[in-house]
Amino acid sequence: MSAPLPLLQVRDLAVRFRAGGVGLPGFGARYVNAVNHVSLSIAPGETLGVVGESGCGKSTLGRAILNLVDAQGGEVRFEGDVVSSHDPSSIAKLRARAAMIFQDPYASLNPKLAIGEAIAEVLRVHRKTQPEKVAARVAELLYLVGLSPELAARKPHQLSGGQCQRVGIARALAIEPRLIIADECVAALDVSIQAQILNLLMELQRQMNLSLIFISHDLGVVRHLCRRVAVMYLGRIVELGPTEQVFAAPQHPYTRALLAAVPDIDPDRTLNPAQLRGEPPSPLDLPTGCPFHPRCPHAQEVCARGEAPMLRASGTRELACHFDLPLNSQQGEGP
Amino acid sequence: MSLLIVRNLSIAAGERLLVEEVDLDLAEGEVLGLVGESGSGKSITCRALMRLLPHDQLHIAGGSVTLKGRDLARLDEAEMRKVRGVEIGMIFQNPSSHLDPVMRIGDQIAESVRYHEGASTKEARGRAVELLRQVGIPDPVRRVSAYPHEFSGGMRQRAMIAVALACRPKLLIADEPTTALDVTVQAQVLRLLLDLRDRLGLAILLVTHNLGVVAQTCDSLTVMYAGRIMERGPKRDLLRAPAHPYTEALLKCQPGSAKPAAQLPAIPGQPPLAGAFPPGCRFHPRCPRVADICRRERPALSPAQGPRVAACHFTSALRAAS
Amino acid sequence: MSVEALSRGNWLARGFGALGLGRANLNLRLGAAIIVGWALIAVFAPWIAPYDPITHNLADKLQGPSLLHPLGTDNFGRDILSRVIYGARIDLQMGVLGVLFPFLIGTTLGAIAGYAGGWVDILLMRILDVVLAFPFLVLMLAIIAILQPGLTSFYIALALVGWVSYARLVRAQVLVLKTSDFVTAARSLGFGRFRILFRHILPNCIAGSIVFSMSDVVLVVLAGSSISYLGLGVQPPTAEWGVMIAEGQNFITTAWWITTFPGLAIVLMAFGFSLLADGLAERFGLRQP
């Protein structure tokens, strides 16, 4: 099978933020290494999940891909072309084909703008429709995401959270994207509404052959939605591979602990004894060596030394660990 | 014998009833899960138990809250103050906003010990260290004089639990205690709550929207929707074979319960806004089994199976079908 | 009468409704009514005023309030009522234009400084610091003195000095909104900088400036009157409330009406704008009612 040309390729991406300090040399400028050496690619029509706990850099990664935050290193290629912050036209081209959906459905819409107008604006800016057909297209998009076109005149605060999230999706679809980056887009919604939005995303993705990067802390949602998954810890991808394999037989010790911590709905499975002690260290001062070693149950001397282990191929997946731990499939049984 | 017995509790905003006819029973050492989506009234219910409703907006419209044989709904404010913190402890979703940022953790714990028990500064401090140790904070002797911002999220939640348990209450109300936490830290905090239950005989009312959390921690469950109880019973029965269509639908729309990439059996529509509830059964506009009677008559909570009760006209039909 | 009053009430209500003031609060309605009242007086001054405001009539000088001259006359025999009515034209214009230019300049510069950041921000904020370093009136007087006394100079001076408050107000808000989700969303959709700034950020932070501008009108009218009083603003014999007070001060013990009524007019107009500011603040949700 010849692999299709990837739609998006990210290589060695690194994002740093300044935190505190006055920024002059020697005056205590400190940096948060939000994203470190992240590489991934996504094929047309593919769904990639990015999971991890708060502060692991998954949201920053999504924003860095769309050049919404400046990257300090690495490369993003979209449809084969390099996207560079020094080349505004490359960014414009990217943002004309790739859209983002945000976590907070209210905060991501301009509170002063009627939702129909918010969508119409996208159509006009990107010249997607002739001026006289904009209203019809807005109605069509609203209908597509399951909203009544009559709602077009409403302001965001007059809608429910689920409805606002549908507007966010309609607005993303207005640019006719090839890629959608969904950043925790169901985290703020009730379970029953969450299922509706997930269904909508899956259906649209199939209909339009969209690529989807689905950033979430909810492992259940990612498992349901995504074909491949990347697990992040402290700014690095620690494991990347086909979702079913990763979830059924996690290889990286962090992935194992993460999966074991998810409370299962099955009432006969008791709460696992907490596998990890402590909490992730602050990204302000990362530990040397493997960032996970202070909490890792399998850590050895080598893990604390030198650079963090790079992502390496291991069977069908990629892994950032010095060891090939024996597979245990205790979390094996499917959903 | 039950520690807490709530009967017919109703909460209103002006004339509008937001919570109606809620019954809860909680025995010592029991963990009761109160489950519902936003707007279901689960959070204001537990605030009402503590009589912490905002006075100008909400009030208890009826019913009784009996703790160890005393009806809290009839106590005056001064008596109620002796209940809060002493007999009932409460923890919240967001520890950062419920801990005083300019007061040392130890002092926040010691404060209520000194206030309620008249303990000396030294005794209170000793208790604070002991409590921090109990909730699993490493190096409690040093940490007792730390400020909340020096703690990580999970540690703050532990500290809030220590504050809530300072006067050794028998009942802990936990309102979404792990929602703001990462999943690995959530597991630690849930583990801690269960340990405290085992060691201290604590009764815990756990309010959450997360069915996974409920499944792993609770003994019994109460499911609320639009201000009313839909179903109540032992956890296992309820999760294995729900008697109410709402419980059933809620379980089915969890991503883990369908085949990957398949459409999830979502519940259509959205929950009604608080106070603007539909007539008849509150769930009928979204219910797959809706019939004429559901639009007209409100189903009473009736025995479904064993100790379980459900508020559905078709409970027996459901049971027959499964 | 009742039918007429009712229908007029309806008309007013509909007018308010059209302005989006359907559920307007009392402050807003009262403030708007006072200002609209002054505007009508200003527009129809030639028809309302019983006498010419400029022509001397020494025969009638320094008369107290009477049926013929309800507010009395000044030392040149001019009717105070007529002068107060004509004065509304100047003072209202002063209030509106004196705020409009600083508002536009300050809002634009503040928005640009906040959104662009970097050296643009640093430069604009240092200029702002310089302007703020001088007392307001002193700086105004200096600029007017350099140009030449008169109303135009007054507006220019105000534009040069008054923008700083707006710039600071707007910049602070833009800094907050710049990182908000909906602005990030707009960026992710490939919108240009100007579109984001003027269509998405500004409409969401302009409310505070509008409210501030209403209370600023009060200050500007008072400043205008003070400057006219000092002889650097509106020149006699033009009817302007500040000028009138300045002219009447020599007679304060013998003819109190010359200074009192223009003073009251200033107070009433200021009161109207203050109410409007409060009402708007409430309406925009910036303050609890």
DSSP string for C105-123:
HHHHHHHHHHHH-HHHHHH
Q: Where are the alpha helices (DSSP H) in C19-117?
A: 26-43, 45-48, 80-116
- pLDDT for B318 equals 54
Question: Is the pLDDT assigned to residue C274 strictly greater than 80?
Answer: yes
- Once rounded to an integer, what is the mean pLDDT over residues B115-121? 87
Contact at CB, C189 and A171, closer than 8 angstroms = yes
Which residue do the tokens 């409330």 mark? C241
* Neighbouring residues of B41: CB distance < 8 A, sequence distance ≥ 6: B11, B18, B19, B22, B224, B226, B227, B228, B274
- Residue C15: pLDDT band (50, 70, 90) is very low
Chain C: nearest CA to A254, how far in angstroms? 31
Tell whether B210 lies on the interface with A, counting CB pairs under 8 A: yes
Nearest CA distance, A209 vs chain C (angstrom): 20
ipTM for this model: 0.85
Measure in Å the smallest separation between the Cα of A199 and chain B Cα atoms. Answer: 5
Q: Is the pLDDT of residue C18 over 50?
A: no
pLDDT digits (tens, 9 = 90+) for C129-171: 999 898 888 888 899 989 988 888 989 999 999 999 999 999 9
Q: Model confidence at A28, in pLDDT bands (50, 70, 90)?
A: low
Question: Would you call C190 and A95 a contact, using CB atoms and an 8 Å cutoff?
Answer: yes
CB pairs under 8 A between A and B: 144
Question: Residue B22: its pLDDT value, please?
Answer: 93
Q: Which two tokens stand for residue A193?
A: 């509404």
CA quadruple B248, B253, B258, B262: dihedral positive or negative?
positive
pLDDT of residue A4: 65
- The answer, yes or no, to whether C and A have at least 3 beta-carbon pairs within 8 Å is yes
Helix (H/G/I), strand (E/B), else coil: A38: strand
Contacts of C187 in chain A (CB under 8 A): 68, 95
Look-up of token digits 């201290």: B200
Q: Which residue has the higher pLDDT, C72 or A273?
A: C72
Residue of A198, A224, A246, A276 best to disrupt the B interface, most CBs of B under 10 A = A224
Residue B320: pLDDT band by 50, 70, 90 thresholds?
low
Taking CA atoms, what residue in A is nearest to B240?
A267
Can you tell me the distance from the alpha carbon of B213 to that of B12, in angstroms, rounded to the nearest whole number? 29
Helices (H), chain A: 58-65, 88-95, 115-125, 134-144, 161-174, 191-208, 219-225, 243-248, 253-261
Is A228 at the interface with chain B, CB within 8 A?
no
Whether A110 contacts chain C with CB within 8 A: yes
CB-based contact C204 A104, cutoff 8 Å: no
Q: Which residues in chain B have Cβ-Cβ distances shorter than 8 Å to A273?
A: 191
Tally of CB atoms within 10 A around C219: 17
d(C-alpha A19, C-alpha A31), whole Å: 5
Compute φ and ψ for C170, nearest 5 degrees.
-70, -40
Say whether the B–C interface has 3 or more Cβ pairs within 8 Å.
no
| Residue A335 in this model has a pLDDT that exceeds 50 | no
Chain B residues lying within 8 Å of A199, measured CB to CB = 263-264, 266
Considering only the beta carbons, identify the residue of A190, A243, A261 that sits closest to B184: A261
Nearest CA among C76, C109, C45 for reference residue C237: C76
- Tell me the C-alpha to C-alpha distance, in Å, between residue A238 and each of A38, A103, A284, C98: 10, 24, 19, 62
**C168 burial type by CB count under 10 A (0-12 exposed, 13-18 middle, 19+ buried):** middle
Is A112 close to C204, i.e. CB distance below 8 A?
Answer: yes
Task: Give me the DSSP letters along A126-163.
Answer: TT-S-GGGHHHHHHHHHHHTT--GGGGG--GGGS-HHH
Does any CB of chain B come closer than 8 Å to the CB of residue A158?
no
- State how far the alpha carbon of A118 is from the alpha carbons of B14, B58, B113, in Å: 37, 37, 55
User: What is the residue whose two structure tokens read 């005149």?
Assistant: A153
Closest CB to B256: pick one of A193, A196, A335.
A335
This model's pTM is above 0.90: no
Q: Which of B152, B176, B264 to mutate to test the interface with A (most CBs of A within 10 A)?
A: B264
For chain C, which domains are there? 25-283 (1.10.3720.10)
CB atoms within 10 A of CB C120: 14
How large is the average pLDDT for residues B185-201?
90
Say yes or no for a CB contact (<8 Å) between B259 and A274: no
Alpha carbon of residue C174 to chain centroid: 25
Is the CB of B94 inside 8 Å of chain A's CB atoms? no
Q: Any CB–CB contact under 8 A between A316 and chain B?
A: no
Residue C150 φ/ψ, nearest 5 degrees: 150, 170
What is the mean predicted confidence (pLDDT) over A291-306?
86
Q: By CB neighbour count within 10 A (0-12 exposed, 13-18 middle, 19+ buried), where does C90 fall?
A: buried
Q: How many CA atoms lie within 13 A of A28 on its CB side?
A: 3
pLDDT reading at C255 higher than 90:
no
Pairing of β B171-175 and β B203-208: parallel
What residues form DSSP beta bridges with A40? A10
Do at least 3 CB pairs under 8 Å connect B with A? Answer: yes
Interacting residues of B293 by C-beta distance below 8 A, sequence separation 6+: B280, B313
Taking the CA of residue A104 and the nearest CA in chain B, the distance in Å comes to 15
pLDDT (0 to 100) of residue A181: 95
Cβ B182–A267 below 8 Å, yes or no?
A: no
Chains with ≥3 CB–CB distances under 8 Å to C:
A
CB contact set of A77 (below 8 Å; sequence gap of 6+)? A6, A8, A9, A10, A11, A83
Does residue B149 sit at the A interface (CB-CB below 8 Å)?
no
Distance CA C250, CA C75 (A): 10
What's the pLDDT band for C287 if we cut at 50, 70, 90?
low
Number of A/C CB contacts below 8 angstroms equals 56
H helix intervals, C117-256: 118-133, 136-147, 151-178, 181-188, 193-195, 202-229, 241-248
Check: CB of residue B99 under 8 Å from CB of residue B105. Answer: yes
Number of alpha carbons in the 13 Å side-chain half-sphere of residue C184: 22
Chain A: partners with 3+ C-beta pairs within 8 Å? B, C
B287 touches chain A (CB under 8 A): no
- Beta-bridged to residue B9, according to DSSP, are B22
* Pairing label, strands B2-13, B171-175: unpaired
Residue A121 in this model has a pLDDT that exceeds 60: yes
Domain parsing of chain B, residue ranges: 2-218, 224-258+275-321
Contact C190 A100 (CB under 8 A): no
- Name the residue facing C188 among A66, A109, A126 (closest C-beta): A66
**Can you give the length of chain A in residues?**
335
| Residue C152, CA atoms < 13 Å, CB-side half-sphere | 3
In this predicted structure, the answer to whether residue A242 has a pLDDT above a threshold of 90 is yes
Per the CB < 8 Å rule, is B182 touching A54? Answer: yes
Does residue A329 surpass a pLDDT of 50? no
Using the Cβ of A122 and the Cβ atoms of chain C, whether some distance falls under 8 Å is answered with yes
DSSP element (H, E) containing C266 = helix C257-283
Range with the poorest average pLDDT among A27-36, A40-49, A140-149, C242-251: A27-36
CATH code of the domain made up of B2-218 = 3.40.50.300
Sign of CA dihedral C18, C20, C24, C27: negative
Across the interface, of B191, B236, B286, the residue whose CB is closest to A271 is B191
Which residue, chain included where needed, has tokens 């709550």?
B193
Mutate to test the interface with A, among B35, B40, B135, B216 (most CBs of A within 10 A): B216
pLDDT at A274: 66
Burial of C193 (0-12, 13-18, 19+ CB in 10 A): exposed
pLDDT tier for residue C2 given thresholds of 50, 70 and 90:
very low
Per-residue pLDDT, C24: 54
Task: Provide Rg for chain A, Cα atoms.
Answer: 21
Judged by phi (left if over 0) then psi (alpha if -120 to 50, else beta), residue A23 lies in left
pLDDT at A204 over 70: yes
* Phi-psi group of C76: left, alpha or beta (phi > 0 → left; psi -120 to 50 → alpha; rest → beta): alpha
Residue A220 near chain B (CB below 8 Å): yes
Strand, coil or helix: B224 = strand
Among all chains, which residue has been given the structure tokens 């040397």? Answer: A288
pLDDT (0 to 100) of residue B258: 75
- Residue C152 makes CB contacts below 8 A (sequence gap 6+) with none
B110-119 average pLDDT score: 87
Summarize pLDDT for A62-112 with one digit per residue, the tens: 999 999 988 888 999 999 899 988 888 999 999 999 999 998 888 999 988
In tens, the pLDDT along B40-75 reads: 888 899 889 988 888 778 889 989 999 988 898 888
Closest residue by Cα to residue B136 from B152, B124, B123:
B152
Alpha carbon of C203: minimum distance to chain A alpha carbons (Å): 7
Beta-carbon separation of B266 and A192 below 8 A: yes
CB of B318 within 8 A of CB of B247? Answer: no
Closest-CA distance, A220 to chain B, in angstroms, reads 5
Chain A window 169-208: which residues touch C at a Cβ cutoff of 8 Å?
171-172, 175
**How many angstroms away from the CA of C201 is the closest CA of chain A?**
9
Residues of A whose CB is below 8 A from B259:
335
Query: What does the block give as tokens for A150?
Result: 């009559």
Residue in A with minimal Cα distance to C191: A125
Asked if the peptide bond before residue C237 counts as cis, ω within 30 degrees of 0, the response is yes
- Residue A82 backbone phi and psi in degrees, to 5: -70, 135
* Between residues C162 and A306, the one the model is more confident about: C162
Q: Which of B162-171, B201-210, C91-100, C238-247 has the lowest mean pLDDT?
A: C238-247
A21 — pLDDT class (breaks 50, 70, 90): low
Q: In what order do the strands lie in the sheet with B302-305?
A: B88-91, B171-175, B203-208, B31-35, B220-225, B228-234, B308-310, B302-305
Highest mean pLDDT among A35-39, C61-65, C221-225: A35-39
Asked whether the beta carbons of residue B182 and residue A279 sit closer than 8 angstroms, the reply is: yes
Burial of A93 by CB count in 10 Å (0-12 exposed, 13-18 middle, 19+ buried)? middle
